[in-house]
Amino acid sequence: MDIADWRKKIDALDRRLVDLLSERARAAIEIGRLKRNTRLPIYEPDRERMVFDNVQKENPGPLPGPDLVRIFERIMDVMRNIQKEGILASPEAPEAETELDSEGNH
């Protein structure tokens, strides 16, 4: 394959990633609704550590584990923001702790 073929392959993979990230965002929105209704915090560091452990266990390479974790840190940061926006947009939203609140930054 030449560079154009590899770029077409990357474009197709990117489309699949967009679909999967959209599906993940829909799941995060639903979890955010459940968190709002049960007054759970948005930021759950133990859960995030579990996600990092899980993706590293499933990683066949060639992407190094620390790089994969950095990617997932960013994905989860975006998903937390989606949940936070959903809670703030809700008229019946209770006060929910965010990752910033738990770090003492207000």
Q: How many CB atoms lie within 10 A of CB 98?
A: 18
Distance (Å, whole) CA 61 – CA 22: 24
Question: What pLDDT, on a 0 to 100 scale, did the predictor assign at position 79?
Answer: 95
Position with higher pLDDT, 103 vs 2: 2
pTM for this one? 0.76
Which of 38-47, 48-57, 93-102 has the weakest average pLDDT?
93-102
Question: What pLDDT, on a 0 to 100 scale, did the predictor assign at position 98?
Answer: 46
Question: What pLDDT, on a 0 to 100 scale, did the predictor assign at position 50?
Answer: 97
Domains and CATH numbers, the chain: 3-102 (1.20.59.10)
Question: What pLDDT, on a 0 to 100 scale, did the predictor assign at position 27?
Answer: 94
What are the CA-CA distances from residue 44 to residues 34, 50, 99 (Å)?
14, 10, 8
Question: What pLDDT, on a 0 to 100 scale, did the predictor assign at position 85?
Answer: 83
Which of 9-13, 36-40, 76-80 has the weakest average pLDDT?
36-40
**Helix 65-89 with 3-38: angle, nearest 10 deg:** 50
Residue 73 has pLDDT above 80, yes or no: yes
Question: What pLDDT, on a 0 to 100 scale, did the predictor assign at position 19?
Answer: 98
